[in-house]
Structure 1
Amino acid sequence: MKVIVCLLGLLLLAGQSLSAQEIPTVDAIYEPNIRTVLLVPLLGNDPADPALSLNPPVINLAENVSLQLSFDDLTADYRPYRAKLLHCNADWQRSVLNDIEFTFEYNDYPIQDYQLSNGTKVPYYHYRFPVPKVKLPGNYLLVVYNERNPAQVLFTRRFSTYQTKVGISPNVQFSSGPQKRFTDQQVDFDLSYRGYPLIAPQDELKVVIRQNYRDDRVVTGLRPTNVRAFDNLLEYRLFDLKNTFPGGNEYRFFDIRTVISPASFIDRLDRRQERTLAYVLPDAPRSTGAYVLTDDFNGQYVIDQLETHNGSTQADYITTVFTLRSQELPGAEVYVNGAFNLWKLNDRNRMTYSPERGGYVAQIPLKQGVYNYTYSVKGIAPPVARSGMSIDGNEALVEGNYSATENDYEIFVYHRPPASRADQLVGYRKVGVNKRK
């Protein structure tokens, strides 16, 4: 998807100063001491439920569900933060709306809920912020900045709100392309706009499909293959395979909720005075051979501390050591990837080759919990170009692609009503494929 990319190469510097028009409308962290940024919908009766982080930040305005932001500051010094909202169109570019058109109050919010970590080797401040309700359905960017220096943006997170004006009937299956039948998944669907006035439905609606809540796994620009005007129905059965996604593989996972003894897929623990190291069991490539069924979180992670179940302030930061058994790949850059790094391939998750370990190694400080991850390669064998997708690294080189993989898909439907100056999210549906029973 298109984003504002002004000064993007410089934004990896901590605390980069930006004006409102220069803020890239992407999920990003610009301050290295800011970690574990979670934006979750508060579903159910327990706002502290760790599993809430497995849900995407997409909420229905008609329901009594709010979003909560949380993050940690590893400087362990209190710093005052503030937040503001930016409204975006379907392509995640800034809209022309004024703040008063989509907010109920002044668009500048103090973040006042904070706690100091308790009993951890790595001290930090834990912040929470209830995201204010908005007036309009659509895309938003939550911007958190330094109160003492408003031009200093610390991080940004995307979220969406919707109103159900059109119905979505999805059908996810193996790709209809003979050569991709065993590697790709195809998302067909119907859109029903009965009761919602559209003059030219085949042109007015913008459809976006996203895989596993990843903004680098997105397809846009789809047009209906059949318009059933009398039934107020649009059919999307694309023969050019633009609505297909690489199936990928089930995500790898490990459990560092406790440091008393090694948990699932942890080889050993090294408890030092200033920090604890957890060595994940060495991995090997899975791109050849048969598909193996395993349960996963589709790339997400859960923060929790096993002994106290208070992951917010009592979960420690564990230096997690990853090892990928492989020969050195000349000219290649290998990364550990996952939602824990917002699906970015950067210095925080880059691996280095270690002849002593017989593969690629990375050390990443992670808050205690259960994590999904995958491996991605840049520099050699670039990923196959796919319509509308901004795939950076090649995951298939290590992980493989299988159409039998269990994945989640989201379908977003946008419309700009007459006399409106911005796109609104008028339909949303989440659907899983190959779900386990």
Structure 2
Amino acid sequence: MHHISTIRIIFILMASLFCWPTASEKNIQKNNNPDNENLLTDQVYSDNIHTVQFYREGWEFSQPVLFLGSDQHLVLKFDDLSGEAHTYSYTIKHCTADWAPSNLIESEYLDGFFENSIDDYEYSVNTTIPYVNYLLRIPNDDVKPKLSGNYVLTVWRDYDHTKPVLSRRFFVVDQKVGVTGRVKAATYDSYKGPNQEVDFEIQHPDFAIQNPRNEVKVLLMQNGRWDNAKTDLLPQFIRENSLVYDYSEENVFPGGNEFRNFDMKSLRVNGKGIASIQYLSPLYHVTLYTDKDRHGQDYHFENDLNGHYLVKRDNVTDSDVESDYAMVHFSLDIQAPLTEGNIYVFGELSGWQCSPSNQMVYSIERKQYELALLLKQGFYDYEYAYVRNNDGKIDTSLLEGSHVETENNYQIFVYYRGISSRFDQLIGYQVINSANR
């Protein structure tokens, strides 16, 4: 622990370089009310917090989806790089299908206590950067969700609700309907070529739905991304026991491309995608090979993690506390800067967001975009996203290309709220793979 003071200085410098507050973080600083709408999204509010993972136990690449009445658990993990343990608590809030606070009180949707401490933590072992790894399982002996729907888990420091640390959305499903579907090449002329069309059907023979267009909402996601999710789909055909969503425009996504990736499970040998590894006190620097613009190139299949990452260090017992951190240097070969927008390193490693912390900077001397990110050892997927100044939309096709053959996972969530219901039930969930894998 004798490195702590040096490390703190390093982090102050790094924060000034690439950890400026996002717009959401600035809003939190102005208004720390826990009901603030920013706390109902996936955010990290502290520069010390890194490598936030939230998934169904047993499958690190899954979305945080819990089935009501099952013996499953969700796992939340994160690292505090301040070098010392802190007191962290968490709360769980029930939300509507549109991620607004529901009108339910805590005792209606939780079995147990509304606020609880996170007591499971360990210090890092033999790492150049000291950190504390925190672990939380939901449900546990203190709290258990008892209704279906959308939830937001918020972590607080020192039980102080003016000090949010992170927030993460999760889902509790009470599977009452069946969901089937398929992904095919887009059929409408304007979308033919690189786009994928997601057609699906909701079967409800044992669940009465009186007014489907008003009582049912659907969330359709590609690889767990929120920025391009579809939330306004209505059934095109209403049959006796099924609702059919077979549009040719509203349910279309760019196919995108298979993700780039690199292997940083070892800091002794160069893994996939890594050009060099150097130790420059007090931390490792990992330089990736310079990437090229893939727009206009032919499709090439490659196994990927659909944008996710895996924390892993070779030849250790516990990767959660024995994996080191390294400064990873990304570079993208572009002959001239793009003046109408910005380029970001994008994927789960950026929280599926584009913010100053993952924005690249253009080097006129080297004619390339560059970014350094502090990342924990493991295997990472990533891609390059372009965000235009005029609309703020995330576009991965400009630099990565887009292909109808690309393998993607699509998640379908089905919500129901009857005329006398007090909350939005989550009654169906299904994952469809574009390649039927």
TM-score by length of 1: 0.90
Say if 2:240 is the partner of 1:226.
Answer: no
* Residue 214 of structure 1, CA deviation: 0.9
Query: What is the identity, as a one-letter code, of the residue corresponding to 1:294?
Result: E
Match of 2:6 in 1: none
> Quick check: 2:123–2:133 contact (8 Å CA) kept in 1?
yes
> Quick check: 2:22–2:355 contact (8 Å CA) kept in 1?
no
Q: 1:334 to 1:309 in 2, by over 3 A?
A: farther
Match of 2:102 in 1: 95
Matching residue within 105, 108, 111 for 2:115: 108
Aligned-pair Cα RMSD in Å: 1.9
Query: What is the identity, as a one-letter code, of the residue corresponding to 2:244?
Result: E
> Quick check: 2:270–2:277 contact (8 Å CA) kept in 1?
yes
Match of 1:310 in 2: 318
Matching residue within 351, 354, 373 for 1:342: 351
> Quick check: 2:205–2:242 contact (8 Å CA) kept in 1?
yes
Question: Cα deviations across residues 167-220 of structure 1 (Å, max 9, x unaligned)?
Answer: 111121111112322211111111111011222234311111111011112101
Q: 1:16 to 1:254 in 2, by over 3 A?
A: farther
| Identity across matched positions, percent | 31
SS of the residue 1:245 aligns to = strand
1: CA distance between counterparts of 2:347 and 2:220? 19
Match of 2:153 in 1: 142
Say if 2:47 is the partner of 1:32.
Answer: yes
Question: Cα deviations across residues 322-351 of structure 1 (Å, max 9, x unaligned)?
Answer: 000002222432111111121111121111
2: CA distance between counterparts of 1:238 and 1:101? 38
Match of 1:59 in 2: 66
Question: Cα deviations across residues 217-247 of structure 1 (Å, max 9, x unaligned)?
Answer: 2101211121122xx11111114x1011111
2: CA distance between counterparts of 1:161 and 1:66? 11
Question: Cα deviations across residues 340-398 of structure 1 (Å, max 9, x unaligned)?
Answer: 1211111211111113332001000000000111111223686xxxxxxxx73221110
Match of 1:217 in 2: 228
2: CA distance between counterparts of 1:216 and 1:331? 20
Say if 2:433 is the partner of 1:432.
Answer: yes
SS of the residue 1:203 aligns to = helix
2: CA distance between counterparts of 1:144 and 1:227? 42
> Quick check: 1:141–1:156 contact (8 Å CA) kept in 2?
yes
Any unmatched runs of 5+ in structure 2? 1-20
Matching residue within 343, 357, 361 for 1:352: 361
Match of 2:132 in 1: 125
Question: Cα deviations across residues 43-72 of structure 1 (Å, max 9, x unaligned)?
Answer: 3xxxxxxxx221110121132101111100
1: CA distance between counterparts of 2:163 and 2:328? 30
Any unmatched runs of 5+ in structure 1? 1-6, 44-51, 383-390
**Residues 394-409 of structure 1 aligned to structure 2 (within 5 Å):** 394-409=395-410
2: CA distance between counterparts of 1:186 and 1:380? 28
Say if 2:260 is the partner of 1:252.
Answer: yes
Q: 1:35 to 1:296 in 2, by over 3 A?
A: same
> Quick check: 1:143–1:155 contact (8 Å CA) kept in 2?
yes
Say if 2:26 is the partner of 1:18.
Answer: no
1: CA distance between counterparts of 2:236 and 2:159? 53
SS of the residue 2:135 aligns to = strand
* Residue 265 of structure 1, CA deviation: 0.6
SS of the residue 2:320 aligns to = helix
SS of the residue 1:159 aligns to = strand
2: CA distance between counterparts of 1:56 and 1:367? 20
* Residue 274 of structure 1, CA deviation: 0.7
* Residue 11 of structure 1, CA deviation: 1.6
* Residue 113 of structure 1, CA deviation: 0.7
Query: What is the identity, as a one-letter code, of the residue corresponding to 1:278?
Result: V
Match of 2:14 in 1: none
SS of the residue 2:393 aligns to = coil
1: CA distance between counterparts of 2:49 and 2:330? 21
Query: What is the identity, as a one-letter code, of the residue corresponding to 1:349?
Result: N
Match of 1:412 in 2: 413
